[in-house]
Structure formats: structure tokens, C-alpha cells
Amino acid sequence: MSPSKSRAKPSGTDQLADSGAMIDLQVMSGTMGPDVIDVRKLYAETGKFTYDPGFTSTASCESSITFIDGEEGTLLHRGYTIEELTEHGSFMETCHLLLFGELPSKSEMLEFEHDITMHTMLHEQLYNFFKGFRRDAHPMAIMCGVVGALSAFYHDSTDITDEHQRKIACYRMIAKMPTIAAMAFKYHIGQPFIYPRNDLRYADNFLRMCFAVPAENWVNRPALSHAMDKIFILHADHEQNASTSTVRLAGSSGANPFACIAAGIACLWGPAHGGANEAALSMLAEIGSVDRIPEYIAKAKDKDDPFRLMGFGHRVYKNYDPRARVMQASCHEVLEEVGVKNDPLLQVAIELERIALEDDYFAEKKLFPNIDFYSGITLKAMGFPTSMFTVLFAVARTVGWIAQWREMIEDPHQKIGRPRQLYTGEPPRAYVPIDKR
Ligand code: CMC
């Protein structure tokens, strides 16, 4: 039997019902969203597990940070819509909101920004760490390595049982990620590292560390900083997605927060998750012109072709991704600012979106553009190479990861994450000595 084929067989109707053994399972309700069936005592009482690969029907935890209604296409952070946060707020405000549950007052905001900026620099020894990488290393490979190494440098914030240390670890992660990301970029392109400047706002500081060179004066472009800040807010958190679940699972064993965030970065790298913006831009470039779109739509619909429309579809959104609308508007603003009126990739994207949205295949499967559909074009116009796209996603998502990690550690019901399995391998058999095989 091919190893890729499932060996599991349906084993008849539910034996619980057959044997008449009924157990009561408690139904729990949150403030919004579907109720959940509490199956914690299921195995103890019935000897059976639930089977849910990909966790399509499983709530892995209780959380009060982010809520998504995939049918409606809404995204709330602590009750505020993503549209309101991107229109009126700043990324720092969103960080405070995600971490502490409330939008900050003016004085809280000043204190929070001050405390974060006090951690933007890296231990000087870390600069040597970068030099161990090949110059052509993918910046995400550098991110995995350097962020994983942080725990070797900041011993005074790795005790997860100490509330103060947990808070400092959160601040350090939010503050240092732009510095590390910009350094990964500079190293990749062979330019000198630019140190952070604490008199600049978060997005300005990041853009300067990425694009300033010692030979020239760096001039801030408010429209680009504004767009960068919005992109950070849009990616800040997204409930129990693959990378966040990875951070929680890693953290459930008591691992230090820096190691957990490195695990999240590794997960984010995949093309089905954070790598999709890079993949979406490559796809638009490959399509190249509007007249080739039907060919690619046909490929996406062909069951025998593994090609998918990158930047389309979402596990949770079965409606337009609300972040995609904001991203689309930002994309137009950035292109205008950098003077690209008729970007060919944007033309392909707009037409591809139009054709796909009118196509029955995409309508029936509820496939809509997601945030990654327009973010690649926007980031490219801002001057980032495609290899940096997922890195930028990681910078923004760090606050979500660390807020979810902190929430998990402070949850009294928290246990090590340990899923079970449906075993389909060999039953016990006798060992055969090598000369008898
Ligand atoms: N193009 C063509 N067909 C698709 C696509 C697509 N982009 N996405 C899903 N489908 C089809 C798929 O073939 C399947 O068809 P069938 O039922 O006939 O087998 C059906 O739609 C359901 O797909 P699925 O893979 O079972 O759905 P999922 O919830 O497991 O996957 C997804 C969600 C995001 C991985 C998937 O839609 C995808 O691969 N999209 C492209 C990659 C992408 O844009 N990812 C970014 C996600 S948003 C950013 C983030 O949160 O990281």
C-alpha cells in the first residue's frame, strides 16, 4: 500500500450509540462565535479520541484577544474592527491593545512607546552572529536563527514564571524584531547595518534601518511610513492560525518566549501561510499580462494541476478578507506616492481578482482574495525585495504571537499541548534477525 494512502477504515456507526453508552458533554459558549463541545473527558469515559487533522473543527484554547467571523468577513481585536484600527489607530496602539486588552490613554501610550523603544538595540555580540550566515541566505532563515539565539543573550527575561520577566520578554520581542529584520535585509544585500533611532516612530525607524545608507541623508516619506504602519496593524494578530498555534504549542512545554517566537517564524515561512505574499507576487509576475489570466484560472480549477491562485482562499474567511480591502487601498496609495501609475502587476492583479470573483468555481468554494493578494505589490513598490515579504509579516505578527503566548502562560487551565493519533501502522510483530530477513 502506498504510504500516502490512509490505512484507516471506517469502523461502523458510533459505538457509543450502538452500546447505548451515552455520556453528557458540556457545551461552552464564548462571547461571540460558535459554541464548543467540551470533549476533555471523552477519552477517560469512552476510550475514544476525536479525529480532526488540520483542526478544522477544534478550538485549541480559550482566548480573548482576536475574533474572526469568517462568514461575515469581520476581524476584531479586543472588540475593535480592523477597519477602525487601521483608519484611526497606530501600530503601537494596537500592540498595547493586544497585549493589555485596552487602547492606551495618552499617558499610557507615551509610557508604552518609551518602554518599547528602550529595547530596540541588540546585544553587540549578536552582530557577529549574522556574519555566520552566507550572504545569499534567505532573510527568513536568518530570522529563525537570530531570534532563536535571543534566549542566549537575554537570560534575565526567560523565567516564564516571573510576571515582570514575561512583560520584558514581550517588550523585547516587539522592540527588537524590526532591528533584526532590517539587519537580515542589510546583510542579505551587503550594506552596513543601521542602528535604531529611538526618536523615530516604530515604522519610520524600521524603514530607516532598512533603507538608509551611511553615505547619504535619509529622508522620511510620511506616506510610506503611514502605509508601513497600516501593514503592521493588518498583520498584527489573527487568532489561532498555524504560526500562533505553533508558538502556543512550543510555549506549552515551558520553553522560553524567544524560542517560541522562533518556532512561529519557522511556521510562518511556508507558502500556505506567511510565504503566500511572496508566492502571490511571483504568480502575478509569471502570469505577466492580462491576456494570460484565463490560462491560469483554468490551471487553478484543474484538479490534476497542483497550481493554486496564491493570495486566494482562506481557512476561516469564506467571504472577502477584511484585511484585503484595506491592503488594496494602501496599495493604490503607495503606488501613487512612488509614482507608479500603471504597474503591470497591479493591472494583472485587478483583472485576475475580477475574473476569479465572477467564476463559479471560486464562488462555490467561497474563495476570495486574502491579505496577501495585494501586500506583495505594495511591499515591492516600497522597495522591499520579495525575500523580505514574509520577514515583514513576522515583524508585525510578533505582537500577536507574544500576546497569545502570554495569555496562554497566564491561563490557569494551561497544559502541555499533546495531541493523540489514529495509529495505522503495524500491530506488534516479532523481531527478525538481520540474516533471516
Ligand atoms: N486556488 C484554487 N483552488 C483553491 C485555492 C486556491 N487558492 N484555495 C483553495 N482551493 C480549493 C481546493 O483545491 C479545495 O478544492 P476541493 O474541495 O475541490 O478539493 C477547496 O478549495 C478547499 O481548499 P482547502 O485546501 O481544503 O482549504 P484550506 O482551508 O485547507 O486551505 C488555504 C486554505 C489558504 C491554505 C488555501 O486556500 C490556499 O492554499 N490558498 C493559497 C495560499 C494563500 O493565499 N495563503 C494565504 C492565506 S492568508 C494569510 C495567512 O493567514 O497566512
3-state secondary structure the chain: CCCCCCCCCCCCCCHHHHCCCCCCCCEECCCCCCCEECCCCHHHHHCCCCCCHHHCCCCCCCCCCEEEECCCCEEEECCEEHHHHHHHCCHHHHHHHHHHCCCCCHHHHHHHHHHHHCCCCCCHHHHHHHHCCCCCCCHHHHHHHHHHHHHHCCHHHCCCCCHHHHHHHHHHHHHHHHHHHHHHHHHHHCCCCCCCCCCCCHHHHHHHHHHCCCCCCCCCCHHHHHHHHHHHHHHCCCCCCHHHHHHHHHHHCCCCHHHHHHHHHHHHCCCCCCCHHHHHHHHHHHHCCHHHHHHHHHHHHCCCCCCCCCCECCCCCCCCCHHHHHHHHHHHHHHHHCCCCCCHHHHHHHHHHHHHHHCHHHHHCCCCECCHHHHHHHHHHHCCCHHHHHHHHHHHHHHHHHHHHHHHHCCCCCCCCCCCCCCCCCCCCCCCCHHHC
The active-site residue out of 119, 237, 314, 321 is 314
Grid cell locating 18: 450502538
- Establish whether residue 363 lines the binding site of ligand 1, counting it when its CB lies within 6 angstroms of any ligand atom: no
At residue 2, the pLDDT reads 40
Ligand 1 pocket, residue 366 CB under 6 Å: no
Q: In angstroms, rounded to a whole number, what is the distance separating the alpha carbons of residues 104 and 89?
A: 11
Does ligand 1 come within 6 angstroms of the Cβ of 211? no
Contacts for 2 with CB less than 8 Å, ≥ 6 apart = none
CA of 373 to the centre of ligand 1 (A): 13
Top mutation candidate among 82, 243, 308 for ligand 1, by most atoms within 8 Å of CB: 308
Pocket test for ligand 1, best of 55, 71, 312 (most atoms within 8 A of CB): 312
State the pTM of this model: 0.90
Integer Rg of the chain from CA: 24
pLDDT at res. 110? 97
pLDDT by residue for the chain (437 residues), tens only, comes to 344 455 666 666 555 554 556 888 999 999 999 999 999 999 999 999 999 999 999 999 999 999 999 999 999 999 999 999 999 999 999 999 999 999 999 999 999 999 999 999 999 999 888 999 999 999 999 999 999 999 999 998 899 999 999 999 999 999 999 999 999 999 999 999 999 999 999 999 999 999 999 999 999 899 999 999 999 999 999 999 999 999 999 999 999 999 999 999 999 999 888 888 888 889 999 999 999 999 999 999 999 999 999 989 998 899 889 999 999 899 889 988 988 777 788 889 889 989 998 999 999 999 998 888 888 889 988 999 989 999 999 999 999 999 999 999 999 989 999 999 999 999 999 999 999 99
Annotation says 411 is catalytic: no
Ligand 1 centroid, distance to 313 Cα (angstroms)? 5
Give residue 350's pLDDT: 87
**CA count, 13 A, side-chain hemisphere, 211:** 17
Which cell numbers in the block locate residue 352? 485576475
Closest-lying ligand 1 atom to the alpha carbon of residue 365: 21
> Which amino acid, 304?
D
202-189-218 Cα angle (round to 5): 45
Active site residue 314: yes
Q: Is the CB of 272 under 6 A from ligand 1?
A: yes
Predicted confidence at residue 233, as pLDDT, reads: 98
Distance 372 CA to ligand 1 centre (A): 13
Mutate which of 71, 314, 352 to test ligand 1's pocket (most atoms within 8 Å of Cβ)? 314
